[in-house]
Structure 1
Amino acid sequence: MNFKEAQDYLHSFVNYETKVEFPYKESFKLERIQDFLKSLGNPQNAIKSIHIAGTKGKGSTCAYVANILKEAGFITGLYTSPHLNSFRERIRILDSSVQDQNPEPYFSGMISEDDVCVYVEKLKTAADQFNEKSQWDKLSFFEVYTALAFLYFKDKNVDFVVLETGLGGRLDATNTTDPLVCAITPISFEHTQKLGNTLEAIAKEKAGIIKNKNQVVVSAIQPDEALKAIKKRCQEFDAKLYVVGKDIFFEELFSDINGQVFNYFDSFSEYTNLRTGLLGRHQLINAATAIGIVDALRLFNFIVPAEAIKKGLETTFWPGRFEVIDKDPFVILDGAQNSASAEALKNTIKKIFGEQKTTLILGISQDKDLKGVCKALEPIAKTVILTKADNPRASEPKNLLGFFSENQDIKTTSGVKEALELSKAISLENDIILVTGSLFVVGEARDLWSRKIKQ
């Protein structure tokens, strides 16, 4: 089997990431993936995991944790979604003792094309037989790829796996592990038709990853409704809970376009003058959550040195999160896709650039809060260029027009390439081009800018 054949096989499964409408509880069956994993020998039971759910900041928090553990000498698996340019990005192994044989500019240690072929062949027969004989509906892409990741991490004998949930938590395919530490990043309104239309309901779905009293739970700063649901879930299982802002604290010292400096302390440790290249106050919350997760491993007799925490934070890079890919003009990529993330992005732009306005390239998926994102970002835009990703979920640019004020300078384009070319044509030196609204848009923009547009 070659890589194209393996890729085509994986893409033959239904992919809910490209669908706007689908019945959540009917489509997501934990029993289905549990039965499939059983047919593979339950590889997930052989790994020590850290499981992270939430609305905002899951990927960044996962990246922080994985990098810290790597710097501490642990061979660390990292499973995240969605991907920006290749599904291989989702499966990575971070190992400080190994030189990456095929270094990628953004995702070091990601699964090789050869290993994708090997592991597709390993599970193909089982997946085909399962779909033919199972009482359940057919497996999804996310379920099959999650199973592939578990097999891969088991065979590679990783010390830890850091897992990001796909959608929700309770019914997510990643919720088949028995993690040492669970974490809930900030909760806000998203996927309300599937997860619930209150913060409490959404948090309840996310907190479904908390399953027994042996787990330690770390929560980011949360709205009261969300924290109430998380606390209730922890009480049900007698799981110990640590909350940023109540048990875990950070103090911002300095920030500019190059990064941030902060102090941190909790009941275990105190760290001063920590640095991160990820920008925005929300990234300090993510960093504090990550340190809380790593410190909680002490309860399982895994001690992470302060130097590993410091270096891990400094070296964490997470593409598409206030990522500056050019400085003449400034080109910033950010995957903000709901109103809360858009507000955080607006605040970060203002903090770093003051009152300078941006050329805003905006493309949003149909199932997101279109109005909320547009209203949050309009105050920092001198020109808005509406576009769409090459994805079935993408909202048509014309559908966003009504969410902006009548006197706003707005242009519409048919795709990301046209939007980037237009932004470059109208931008001057030291202008800011901000690409946001969707990770699908951001992924296309990065690839296009580096290969074509910049030249």
Structure 2
Amino acid sequence: MNYTQTLDYLFNALPMFQRVGAAAFKKDLSNTLALCKHLGDPHQRFKSIHVAGTNGKGSSSHALCSVLMQAGYKVGLYTSPHLKSFTERVKINGVEIQEDEVVQFVNENKGFLDELKPSFFEMTVGLAFWYFAKMQVDIAIVEVGMGGRLDSTNVIQPEVCLITNIGYDHMQYLGDTLEAIAGEKAGIIKQNTPVVISQRQAETSHVFNEVARAKKAPIFFAEDYFQIDNISESESGVYRVSQSEDSFVLEMDLKGNYQQKNLSGVLKTLDILRTLGFSFSQSHLQAGLENIVKNTGLKGRWQYLSESPTVLCDTGHNEDGINYILNQLKACSFDKLWMVLGMVNDKDLDKVLSLLPKDANYVFVAAKIPRAMPAATLLELGFQHGLDGIAIDDVNDGLAYAKKNASKDDLIFVGGSTFVVAEINDL
């Protein structure tokens, strides 16, 4: 098979949770373990950091990767979903896996895959582990897809685990309370392996403490070690980082005030890596955190696309993610706010829609995936929450409409779903 045929095989022959939802969700690790065994257990041949959480796990994974890259390490990075290209999911030092490597993996293992019938995600995890072992990375940052306990990535034995924010998302799979969701995320905590918790949350801290105690895993709540202060009212991403008596100013290229919540977890994870023999200087640390986008190619996090009018996008999509976005929008200067929004049909949309400002102009759109809520249906739900707008099915047609009707001093936000952001032509 060539690359196009290989992608067709991946996307069409195997279920993909991001596209179809529940039909692709597997409730055990048996397929992943069988695939890894077939591949010679590549996940046992490289060091790793395992990253879980509701919001912030992708940004935190890229931040860790950038610092370690800056220090001269060969760093694998596995994240999901991709925005533009399948190869974004698997990178080494910011460079996406080559298309011919994807073809080789599928061609060499197609007979076994046809027999096993793994999910799309299980197969991409196998691909990533196979590639990282083959390329002999010094360490790999492995982001959980969903949950943790039953996630396909949860077969690795990491050096350290990082759990970011816990919020309401994928509740039909992970539970309908923060405690239940935290219990699933805590499933990545391993025996005698340090775990860092980015945010101390009243509803979830005891869950992590109990699991860590049972696993004899040293646990660190990062906010106890680092104080992160936003020191610029006009620009996001500028922080004063304080630890004990020491402090420094950091200007991250990864914008969005919500990164303040992720930063302490990243820093504490790096501290632990130092104790495990990884070496990097303060200059490596600062340069890595100030060049996350440049080093890793991360897209879609509070990303500015154009000016006059200002157009920006963000992949935040659940209740917490939307709240962070709205809080930052309040700090922006503009005449009128336009929201080009699309969402998937398995979210708690009423909660999200109730948060949205009623004085904005809405253009409701739909990403080209089966899970997408039809734009007309989203418009109708929006009306029920006092949101005024129109429905335009295509994401780029919706953005073009907003641009045409907005003034140069207006702000256009595009988001509501990772898949909406993925379809922006200018991204």
Q: CA deviation at 1:246?
A: 2.3
Supply the AA of the counterpart residue of 1:339.
E
Q: CA deviation at 1:356?
A: 4.5
Q: Partner of 1:82 in structure 2?
A: 81
- Matched residue SS, 1:272: strand
Output aligned runs, 1:418-437, within 5 Å.
418-437=397-416
- Matched residue SS, 1:183: strand
- Matched residue SS, 1:206: helix
- Would the aligned equivalents of 2:15 and 2:24 in 1 still touch at CA under 8 Å? no
- Would the aligned equivalents of 1:331 and 1:433 in 2 still touch at CA under 8 Å? yes
Number of equivalenced pairs: 421
- Matched residue SS, 2:136: coil
Q: CA deviation at 1:366?
A: 0.7
Task: Write out per-residue CA displacement over residues 299-345 of structure 1, whole angstroms, 9 at most, x where no aligned residue.
Answer: 21213211111011111123111110111211111112111111100
Output aligned runs, 1:91-130, within 5 Å.
91-94=90-93, 108-129=94-115
Q: Partner of 2:281 in structure 1?
A: 305
- Would the aligned equivalents of 2:209 and 2:219 in 1 still touch at CA under 8 Å? yes
Output aligned runs, 1:370-449, within 5 Å.
370-379=349-358, 381-400=359-378, 401-404=380-383, 408-445=387-424, 448-449=425-426
Structure 1 spans left out of the alignment, 5+ residues: 95-107, 132-137, 451-455
- Matched residue SS, 1:385: strand
Q: Distance in 2 between matches of 1:436 and 1:330?
A: 14
Output aligned runs, 1:209-358, within 5 Å.
209-213=188-192, 215-257=193-235, 259-266=236-243, 270-317=246-293, 318-353=298-333, 356-358=335-337
Q: Distance in 2 between matches of 1:32 and 1:20?
A: 18
Q: CA deviation at 1:158?
A: 0.6
Q: Distance in 2 between matches of 1:168 and 1:148?
A: 20
Q: Distance in 1 between matches of 2:413 and 2:234?
A: 17
- For residue 177 of structure 1, the aligned residue among 153, 156, 159 is 156
Q: Distance in 2 between matches of 1:271 and 1:316?
A: 20
- Would the aligned equivalents of 1:3 and 1:113 in 2 still touch at CA under 8 Å? yes
- Would the aligned equivalents of 1:374 and 1:404 in 2 still touch at CA under 8 Å? no
Q: Distance in 2 between matches of 1:406 and 1:123?
A: 50
Task: Write out per-residue CA displacement over residues 101-133 of structure 1, whole angstroms, 9 at most, x where no aligned residue.
Answer: xxxxxxx4011112211222233233234x2xx
Q: Partner of 1:98 in structure 2?
A: none
Distance 1:270 1:19, change over 3 A: farther
Supply the AA of the counterpart residue of 2:121.
F
Supply the AA of the counterpart residue of 1:254.
S
Distance 1:288 1:406, change over 3 A: closer
Q: Partner of 1:28 in structure 2?
A: 27
Q: CA deviation at 1:377?
A: 2.4
Q: Distance in 2 between matches of 1:308 and 1:51?
A: 21
Task: Write out per-residue CA displacement over residues 122-151 of structure 1, whole angstroms, 9 at most, x where no aligned residue.
Answer: 33233234x2xxxxxx31011111101101
Q: Partner of 2:71 in structure 1?
A: 72
Output aligned runs, 1:357-376, within 5 Å.
357-376=336-355
- TM-score (ref. length: structure 1): 0.88
Q: CA deviation at 1:407?
A: 5.8
- Matched residue SS, 2:152: coil
Q: Distance in 2 between matches of 1:123 and 1:148?
A: 10
Q: Partner of 1:59 in structure 2?
A: 58
- Would the aligned equivalents of 2:17 and 2:24 in 1 still touch at CA under 8 Å? no
Task: Write out per-residue CA displacement over residues 31-53 of structure 1, whole angstroms, 9 at most, x where no aligned residue.
Answer: 22112211111000001000000
Deviates more, 1:81-90 or 1:244-253: 244-253
Q: Distance in 2 between matches of 1:198 and 1:407?
A: 28
Supply the AA of the counterpart residue of 1:449.
D
Distance 1:147 1:271, change over 3 A: farther
Quick one: percent identity of the two aligned structures?
34
Task: Write out per-residue CA displacement over residues 151-180 of structure 1, whole angstroms, 9 at most, x where no aligned residue.
Answer: 101111111100110111101111010001
Q: CA deviation at 1:403?
A: 3.9
Q: CA deviation at 1:5?
A: 2.1
- Matched residue SS, 1:384: strand
Supply the AA of the counterpart residue of 2:283.
E
- Matched residue SS, 1:321: coil
- Would the aligned equivalents of 2:354 and 2:385 in 1 still touch at CA under 8 Å? no
- Would the aligned equivalents of 1:184 and 1:218 in 2 still touch at CA under 8 Å? yes
- Matched residue SS, 1:449: coil
Q: CA deviation at 1:23?
A: 8.3
- Would the aligned equivalents of 1:65 and 1:294 in 2 still touch at CA under 8 Å? yes
Q: Does residue 16 of the first structure (1) align with residue 17 of the second (2)?
A: yes
Supply the AA of the counterpart residue of 2:156.
T
Q: Distance in 1 between matches of 2:203 and 2:60?
A: 22
Deviates more, 1:295-304 or 1:199-208: 295-304
Distance 1:356 1:229, change over 3 A: farther
Q: Does residue 191 of the first structure (1) align with residue 170 of the second (2)?
A: yes
Q: CA RMSD for the aligned pairs?
A: 1.9
Runs of 4+ in 1 over 6 A off after TM superposition: none
- Would the aligned equivalents of 1:165 and 1:172 in 2 still touch at CA under 8 Å? yes
Q: Does residue 50 of the first structure (1) align with residue 76 of the second (2)?
A: no
- Would the aligned equivalents of 1:187 and 1:222 in 2 still touch at CA under 8 Å? no
Structure 2 spans left out of the alignment, 5+ residues: none
- Matched residue SS, 1:82: coil
Q: CA deviation at 1:93?
A: 0.6
Q: Distance in 1 between matches of 2:194 and 2:30?
A: 24
Distance 1:28 1:210, change over 3 A: same
